[in-house]
Chains A and B, each alone.
Chain A
Amino acid sequence: MDEIENKETVASTHKIGIYLWIWGLLFVLSFFSYMVDWFQFQGLLRWTLILIFMFLKAGLIMAFFMHLFWERYALVNVLLWPMTAIACFIGLMAAEAKYTVFTRLLYFFIGG
């Protein structure tokens, strides 16, 4: 609504409030992720919190600071779909790492 009105004049000018809001949110989220280490949360809780704060921060930066929220889908999809290849690669290498550590434990300590 506001965005569409602005787009008619200059494409990428948005109200200053939105930038300050995102800026503030990024500060708060960074503070929270620092607190995860401060309180020494461990295990699944630590991982969940770290990943939630990380993805929220990354999403806010890309959507608003990098203007992806206002771009047309042609550009957004070209940029975001290749990330699925990275996700597959992470999955493959996580499995590979588990196998490597298994063989190392087997041959170094138990003896093949």
Chain B
Amino acid sequence: MSDNSLNNLPGGFKGMSQDMGSDQTAFKGVQWGKVMMWIFLLSDTFIFSCFLISYMKGRTSTVVDWPNTSEVFSLHVNGVAVPLLLIAIMTFVLITSSGTMALAVKYGYEKNRKMCGWLILATAIGGLTFVGMQAFEWSKLIHEGVRPWENPFGAKQFGSFFFMITGFHGTHVSIGVIFLFIYSRKVFRGDFDKGKRGFFTSMKSDYVAIEILGLYWHFVDLVWVFIFAFFYLW
């Protein structure tokens, strides 16, 4: 959104108190859909936090040894067990897709339709790869006997926390991938250049939608940063 008047407003905390007390829109220069996405992501943060906090509580309060994650999640390459190999690859794939998304937002605002479309498509393929590798990881662990109620490696709570947390994150990735494919089609079709009205909201399409989609996608990457640190590395 181009708004020259924003530059004349004071910044920092002074600007914040003026914005909030202006008896007008509080979030100046921010499109309403973007604010709504941020509020949604904030609520989603609370949900994921509750999952991770209950995991912390379950793990610290059990008297049985927790499974060694670097052994449980190791992959055998030429007969040698490499710890956390798949998880590391998944992390790099997700960061790559986050990078392509950030560039897609940039090219979207510059009205570079082709670049934006290809980058969103690349992001979607990255996300799809991630979900595929997660499906592989799940089936590997299920094959080894990990269940929400038991597992052969240690504390029984491990399985339920693993499937709940990574499953909820994987659901977010899958929904994101669906939206990425839809939006790459919309970009290639030129909806955002022509201001075509969307079939659901009947509002004019604008490239700010790509930034909103990007916020969601970066959030999915952000949550993975915390899951990677707390679930896999702890």
Q: Hey, which bits of chain A sit against chain B, CB under 8 A? A: 4, 7-14, 16, 19-20, 22-23, 26-27, 30, 33-34, 36-38, 40, 46, 50-51, 53-54, 57-58, 61-62, 64-67, 71-75, 77-79, 82-83, 86, 89-90, 93-94, 96-98, 100-101, 104-105, 108-109
Contact = CB atoms under 8 A, between A and B. Distances in A.
Given A37-B70, A65-B102, A23 B95 contact: yes
Contacts of A73: 11-13, 15-16, 19
A87 to B, nearest CB: 10
A71 to B, nearest CB: 7
Contacts, number: 169
Given A26-B98, A61-B225, A12 B19 contact: no
Contacts of A22: 99, 102
Interface of B: 1-4, 6-7, 9, 11-13, 15-16, 19-20, 26-30, 35, 38, 42, 45-46, 49, 53-54, 56-57, 60-63, 70, 83-84, 88, 91-92, 95, 98-99, 101-103, 105-106, 109-110, 211, 214-215, 218-219, 221-222, 225-226, 228-229, 232-234
Contact of A97 (B12, B60, B83, B103): B60
A66 B212 CA distance: 9
Question: Binding site of A, secondary structure by majority: helix, strand, loop or mixed?
Answer: helix
Given A8-B7, A74-B27, A75-B35, A13 B109 contact: yes
A54 B225 contact: yes
A97 B57 contact: yes
A34 B88 contact: yes
Contact of A23 (B4, B29, B99, B229): B99
